[in-house]
Chains A and B, each alone.
Chain A
């Protein structure tokens, strides 16, 4: 009754894995940045992504904008939300024990989801813009997912340029390596924390804005993305930014392969077993942690 797996199917699934993985990588990069710079695991990362998705939905249906044009707007909006969250709440737990920051961001996450339920209701919404696929030599390339991939790759590449080559990026990386030394060298650490949180929220928002065109939007859509992002940065090495890219693509591929060779039911199991294995064998992640 089961299907024989052909090379064409394998190719199709690899493509799907890379397309999904690019989104994982971009979103997880945000979580990784916050962890690297502030040592805070931001449970509210997924709910911030959800807000990005709603931003796209309302800008598209309300203001009639092209959904792809809304991606930078959603990022800018959520940058502001991120900065505000950091300035009012998160900065209080930066030096506190890690449990405090977990509890705080967990609280923020619950508050955001419930506020979204109140404000937007839990009705499922969708941005139906481009559907269908380009067929290239027997491979079906999903249009919305390919465009999301291009956006994600672009945003991720720009993020790396920002981190590598600009003064701000260098300050972010310096703060991440050693806050004290950065401070001694004249980096305004408080400002860097604020900007990093804003930037990370913008990355989550980009993920949400792109997902809005792929899956149904609802207030609880973010939760799974917190976990997936966490999985990605652990796989790649917490605090190691290129690691997010490797981890993201790896997670995308592993999930799709597991669905193909085993069953879709087992794909999440395989992903989390992989997490446990990496934690056992290479606790600092595949690329090692905290090198920037």
Chain B
């Protein structure tokens, strides 16, 4: 007998005798998630985790969900898809959690979603931005996965659109060779074609690459007006440093993920100036509850939330809303509600199509200006003008 068994027995006895117990004495609703707490995506995965934590705290402060407390069960997948697959199996079959939330990043979600679909678990995947996870060929449809953030393909649209409006003609696209970055890069290529920009160079590099000299030597030779890089954090930093070292001087340089983190500026200092980034969320955006979320997050964790934090937070709120409306944890009933749901969270709008693909949320483009991220695109949300063109490294 395990040490807990006598206690469980006592509870069972009490139940049998007493019949009804007050709602507060019910077991909590346990929500399982595998997150990248260490490894390449650690920084971003941790922010997402903190978003979940704020949501958990807030739901419990408001009396929980369906009258029960909410409790997250979180494991570390070390940023590795294969590990996440194992962890979701464990969460569902061994820990028998009541619900799941998504992991960090597209590659990890893509791998994990096979498990959650197998066991028919609704998974709101707040940090998966790759279209192919949701839009499936006939016969391989996925029914229980829901998207929260804008798809990877539109990340670099703001950068390219801003460039085209200022008369730029050519672009080089580089990307990490993983699911999200590839989608962001091919999305950028599509956008470039539509806007009449010529793609003069395109190349992928492996995850974990640290030396970009040869790649950037080729970029320099192609002499593009814009360098659009579909990155995560490490590679965004390394690319920036080596662009300076190799004197690669495009008129605009933009990255996707990582560039929006305060650490990006802390690491690169003034070398981060003029760099464009894309973000799903900023705390200055006028969404309801946004400022309150920002304040309580900062108080709790002593640092500012990134969009990963806000998406994690919002994803959890969306799942909770689905459960609330379904008045049940049953996957099919929650799914039905999530497909119909239209919601404005502190992260922005949520609405999905029949594939669970996000159609309402908006992306913004910013530029690092004097230690601050200034939103420069789209115009209706912009807070400032881009500093254009980016001066060469030698005259900054």
Partner of B244, one of A122, A133, A259: A133
Docked complex: B228-247 residues within 8 A CB-CB of A: 233-234, 237-238, 241-242, 244-247
Q: Is the CB of A133 within 8 A of B245?
A: yes
Q: How far is the CA of A216 from the CA of B37 in the complex (A)?
A: 17
Would you call A215 and B39 a contact (CB within 8 A)?
no
Asked if A166 is at the interface (CB within 8 A of a chain B CB), the reply is no
Q: How far is the CB of B232 from chain A (nearest CB, A)?
A: 11
- Identify which of A2, A5, A122 contacts B39 (C-beta below 8 A): A122
A241 to B213, CA, bound (A): 28
Contacts A1-B199, A128-B268, A142-B242: A264 and B214 contacting too (C-beta < 8 A)?
yes
User: How does the 8 Å CB contact mask read for A239-271 relative to B, with 1 for contact and 0 for none?
Assistant: 000000000000000011101100111011000
Q: CB of B212 within 8 A of chain A?
A: yes
Contact B244 A215 (CB under 8 A): no
Contact (Cβ within 8 A) B218 A9: yes
Shortest CB-to-CB span from A217 to chain B, Å, is 10
- Whether A135 lies near B247 (C-beta < 8 A) is yes
Q: Which of A1, A2, A145, A216 contacts B245 (CB 8 A)?
A: A145
Chain B residues near A62 (CB-CB < 8 A): none
Assess the B245–A140 pair: CB atoms within 8 A: yes
Binding-face segment, B202-210, B310-318, B351-359: B202-210
Main secondary structure of the interface of B (DSSP, over half): helix
Is A12 interfacial (CB-CB < 8 Å)?
yes
Tell me whether A224 and B208 are in contact (CB under 8 A). yes
Residue A20 lies at the interface, judged by CB distance under 8 Å to chain B: yes
Residue of A132, A216, A260, A264 near B267 (CB, 8 A) is: A216
On chain A, the number of residues with a Cβ less than 8 Å from chain B's Cβ atoms is 44
Residue-wise interface mask of B (208-230) relative to A, using a CB-CB cutoff of 8 A (1 in contact, 0 not): 11111111011001100000000
Chain A residue numbers with a CB within 8 Å of B42 are 122-124, 218
Could you tell me the distance between the alpha carbons of A143 and B244 in the complex, rounded to whole angstroms? 10
Minimum CB–CB distance for B143 against chain A, Å: 34
Which chain B residues border A124 with CB–CB below 8 Å?
A: 42-43, 233-234, 237, 263, 267
Q: Mark B84-103, 1 if CB is under 8 A from A, else 0.
A: 00000000000000000000
Given contacts A9-B218, A117-B38, A122-B37, contact A264 B203 (CB under 8 A): yes
Whether B37 and A260, one on each chain, are in contact in the complex, defined by CB atoms closer than 8 angstroms, is no
Determine whether the beta carbon of A131 is less than 8 Å from that of B203.
Answer: no
* Cα A123 to Cα B264 with chains together (Å): 12
CA separation between A224 and B211, bound complex, in Å? Answer: 13
Closest 6 CB pairs of A and B: A259-B214, A142-B245, A16-B213, A264-B205, A122-B42, A260-B214
Report how far A60 CA is from B10 CA in the complex, Å. 58
Residues of A contacting B245 with CB < 8 Å? 131-133, 140, 142-145
A249 CB to closest chain B CB (Å) equals: 14
Q: Which residue of B lies closest to A264 (CB)?
A: B205
CB distance from B75 to the nearest CB of A (A): 15
Query: Smallest distance from the beta carbon of A135 to chain B beta carbons, Å?
Result: 6
B38 and A12 contacting across the interface, CB-CB below 8 Å: no
Contact B247 A264 (CB under 8 A): no
Bound-state CA distance A2–B242 (Å) is 21
List residues of chain A with CB within 8 A of the CB of B263: 123-124
Chain B residues with Cβ below 8 Å from A80 are: none
CB distance from A101 to the nearest CB of B (A): 26
Decide if A6 touches B221 in the complex (CB within 8 Å): yes
- Contact A16:B234 (CB < 8 A) given known A264-B204, A265-B205: no
Residues of chain B contacted by A264 (CB below 8 angstroms): 203-206, 209, 212, 214-215
**B271 contacts the other chain (CB 8 A):** yes
Interface residue ranges of A57-108 to B (CB < 8 Å): none
Instruction: List chain A residues, Cβ under 8 A from B267.
Output: 124-126, 128, 216
Q: Out of A140, A144, A215, A265, name the residue touching B206 (CB < 8 Å).
A: A265
B37, B213, B218, B269 pick with most chain A CB within 10 angstroms: B213
A191 to B299, CA, bound (A): 54
23 contacts between A and B (CB under 8 A): A3-B201, A3-B221, A4-B221, A9-B221, A12-B213, A13-B213, A20-B211, A20-B213, A117-B38, A122-B37, A123-B42, A123-B263, A124-B267, A132-B393, A133-B247, A140-B247, A142-B246, A216-B238, A256-B211, A259-B215, A265-B205, A267-B206, A268-B206
Let me know if A126 and B215 touch, CB within 8 A.
no
Min C-beta distance of A84 to chain B, whole Å: 25
